[in-house]
Structure 1
Amino acid sequence: MVTTQPIEHYAAFNALEGNADAVVSPLPPRDDLCFHALGQAPIRAWVPPSCALAGRDNVDIAQLSQHRLALPSHRSVSRTLFDAFLGTASAPLGEMIECDDTATLLALAKAEKALAICTAIAEANLVPLKITAGDESLQGVPLYLVWNPGHFASAQLEKLGDALQNYIAAATTA
């Protein structure tokens, strides 16, 4: 049985010192930990089908300043990557709402209150757009399944890593 609980991105490895058997982390693990690379969760702009941008595959990051955005806070690696891409493109950031709950970000987009910027894999009734700046695309968040060496279920964790990697690969290429 797999049970999950949310953890702070930048403190993910601390959970291994507690009662967590493994963590999915957006940060590369330390050398003293075992891990399975899972791939990348793409950072996308999620828009309702009624949005003028919905008929496209991508949106230039400079255009996003013309819309209210629902963004994760700076405690999120995806926000750090988004802000860095914004800065590299010298694009302005317009009106925004910050929230660390992905379901809430997506609900704001569904209610046409904001465009959600997040790493959701798939969401019904929303259209995902790649975020670009010229020929460059915003890269996704790398994900790792991480556990302590010598864990009694290391073989099962490797199998879980394979399954998660396959799921992410299939979901992000669909």
Structure 2
Amino acid sequence: MPSQWEFQVGPAVGVTAGDDLWIARYILHRLAEEYGVIVTFDPKPVQDWNGSGAHTNFSTKKMREENGIIEIEKAIDKLSKVHMKHIKVYDPRGGKDNERRLTGLHETASINDFSAGVASRASSIRIPRLVAEEKKGYFEDRRPASNCDPYAVIDALMRTCILNE
């Protein structure tokens, strides 16, 4: 019977987050092999179910400090301006895999429209409720597909949010 399972890695800094995800994927495949089950990282393996994403939490030191929400909002504004550029990076098929997942249904935003919101699973970028209340913390980029290259995701986020590229 098909099912979905979620796991998390981190917190980690930079490239280490990518390393941790690749190791976790390897371990998951080995465990599945041991128990005779199959793992897929296809972002939409069952059409009328929620898809599978590699939701990525991101913060800088300034975002975690007092009134860091201002820095979070600045980063979100930067991300809004390069939405389709990121979409092309966030799955190994240049956005084609995410076309099936990011439909605006099943707790996703539409692939064509950038959005951000507090505690909203239907947004491209989600600000957790506690972060909004405390006015500091991190944001969650919900656009990366479950089969993403984590190094490419990290690179895109850092280039946009930190290097202003």
TM-score, structure 2 normalization: 0.24
Taking CA–CA contacts closer than 8 Å with sequence separation of 6 or more, which of the two structures ends up with the larger relative contact order? 1
Greater per-residue strand proportion:
1
**Greater Cα radius of gyration, structure 1 or 2:** 1
Greater per-residue helix proportion:
2
